[in-house]
Amino acid sequence: MSVIIEACNLRKDFRRQIPGEARYGTLRDGLANGVKNLFTKGRLPKREQEFFSALKDISFEVNQGDIIGLIGRNGAGKSTLLKILSQISLPTSGEVTMHGRVGSLLEVGTGFHPELSGRENVFMNGAILGMSREEIQKKFDDIIEFSGVGDFIDTPVKHYSSGMKARLAFSVAAHLDPEILIIDEVLAVGDYEFQKKCLGAIKDVAKTGRTILFVSHNMNIIRQLCNRGIYLRDGTIYKDSYDIDAVVAEYMSIESDARTYWDADEDSYDAKDFIFKPKKLYLSIDSQIIKRPIAGDEDVEVNINFEMMEVEKALSVGYALFDSMGALLYWTYTTDASGERVQIVKGKNTLSSKLPVNFLNDGDYRLVMIAGVQNDRPIYKLDTSPIGITISIQGHRDRSNFWTNRRHSIVAPVINWHANEEN
């Protein structure tokens, strides 16, 4: 495997944007500053706080055939890096050596003009992306076919729906032929059907041995598509590994600011009830405490740790689950199921239950601990309980390519279908 991109101490500084000030100055100010500098003979030091570094001396190598998922929060430096690799922006210091032509797709439909027809725009966009006229001519029918725009190809693009525009634009890009393909969050457009087609196209490209750098906030797509993850954080490479799941998991655990772990000591929480003293509420996988967002297919346990001052046979402990809009999905108690009752002893107890797998939708949920003594008193009611954590569900490995976005439903189980043979 040969190295196709070598980046060495790449740094990019930007002038800090002063709120309310336009990004471009005026010639008047420029000249005034120039004259001022002339008189002070450049003695005025450049104020350092005027600059910030979008990339802080990063180095990495990309091997031919790598399909890299570039992840990080907004402002982490992903777009800056892609712009440097695409030659759009130059680094402040450091250098990159590319051993292959780059085709970059930082936006679908760059150069599309609303007055021009679909056909004219295909040629325009193709030319901007670096295809020759002959090349576009040769692939024209494929491009039209892939886009599904069909009969509207000679209609001005201003009459297209945004979906059609995106499909046509992506079709041009999908027929690019460079050794290195750079794609920035462009799959967010179009319908599911087309997104699936695009993903398929990218996978096809990947199979030909081309190198792909891919930015997306959709961790599902990243996990499906990429074989290597680079996690950028504040302009530095925080993690770079061929174990894409590990990079994604690390990213999700770090960037999630919702609280996924509750500890009475940390909160200096003083329980009011005299026999039931909750201590911890947390999630775990394989007995390991986890604080990161979870995928819908992971086996996660909900754990409630508490202390009993004396034995209370009629005690029920459980939790209630709310979605991000505050709707109650379900609640459950240790006394739900028939059969042997869960034993609660004097002193420390930890009760665990499995979170339903393949059930929750993508998004944040609030899990609240509830408790009460049957026929006596409620201790923590589901609408007032102060003890809770946030569960973030992101992605599901069993979902197909058709399913890329969050569904507009409360729950989202992956349900298997089969054709019935008796027709």
CA angle 254, 77, 183 (to 5 degrees): 100
Half-sphere exposure of 350 (CA within 13 A, CB side): 10
Cβ 291 vs Cβ 261: under 8 Å:
yes
**Secondary structure class of 207 (helix, strand, coil):** helix
Is residue 205 involved in binding other proteins (CB under 8 A)?
yes
What is the nearest approach in angstroms of other proteins to the Cβ of residue 7? 9
Q: Which of 62, 67, 76, 85 binds other proteins (CB under 8 A)?
A: 85
The secondary structure of residue 109, as a DSSP letter, is: T
Half-sphere exposure of 15 (CA within 13 A, CB side): 10
Label residues 313-342 b or e (16+ Cβ within 10 Å = b): eebbbbbbbbbeeeeebeebbbeeeeeeeb
Site stretch for other proteins (CB under 8 A), options 96-104, 220-228, 270-278, 399-407: 96-104
Is residue 39 involved in binding other proteins (CB under 8 A)?
no
Cβ 279 vs Cβ 271: under 8 Å:
no
Is residue 55 involved in binding other proteins (CB under 8 A)?
no
Residue type at position 252:
M
Quickly list DSSP for 213-274: EEE-S-HHHHHHH-SEEEEEETTEEEEEES-HHHHHHHHHHHH--S--EEETTTTT----SS
Q: Which is nearer to other proteins, 1 or 327 (CB)?
A: 1
Q: Which of 73, 113, 203, 406 binds other proteins (CB under 8 A)?
A: 113
What is the nearest approach in angstroms of other proteins to the Cβ of residue 22? 8
Is residue 123 involved in binding other proteins (CB under 8 A)?
yes
What is the nearest approach in angstroms of other proteins to the Cβ of residue 16? 12
What is the nearest approach in angstroms of other proteins to the Cβ of residue 119? 11
Q: At what angle do helices 192-207 and 162-174 cross, to 10 degrees?
A: 10
Is residue 132 involved in binding other proteins (CB under 8 A)?
yes
- Contacts with other proteins by CB under 8 A: the residue count is 63
What is the nearest approach in angstroms of other proteins to the Cβ of residue 215? 14
Q: Which is nearer to other proteins, 25 or 163 (CB)?
A: 25
Site stretch for other proteins (CB under 8 A), options 110-118, 238-246, 341-349, 403-411: 110-118
Closest CA to 281 of 385, 203, 178: 385
Q: Which of 53, 56, 57, 98 binds other proteins (CB under 8 A)?
A: 98
Q: Which is nearer to other proteins, 15 or 259 (CB)?
A: 15
Is residue 75 involved in binding other proteins (CB under 8 A)?
no
Q: Which of 69, 91, 318, 372 binds other proteins (CB under 8 A)?
A: 91
Half-sphere exposure of 163 (CA within 13 A, CB side): 7
Site string for other proteins, 275-314 (x = CB under 8 A): ----------------------------------------
Is residue 18 involved in binding other proteins (CB under 8 A)?
no
Is residue 153 involved in binding other proteins (CB under 8 A)?
no
Closest CA to 405 of 261, 135, 191: 191
Q: At what angle do helices 162-174 and 118-128 cross, to 10 degrees?
A: 40
Is residue 106 involved in binding other proteins (CB under 8 A)?
yes
Q: Which of 52, 53, 73, 177 binds other proteins (CB under 8 A)?
A: 177
Quickly list DSSP for 130-145: T--HHHHHHHHHHHHH
Is residue 253 involved in binding other proteins (CB under 8 A)?
no
- Give, rounded to a whole angstrom, the gap between the first and last alpha carbons of the chain: 52
Is residue 172 involved in binding other proteins (CB under 8 A)?
no
The site for other proteins (CB under 8 A) is made up of 2, 4, 14-15, 22-30, 64, 83-102, 104, 106-107, 110-111, 113, 115-116, 120, 123-124, 127-130, 132-133, 142, 156, 174-175, 177, 179, 201, 204-205, 208-210
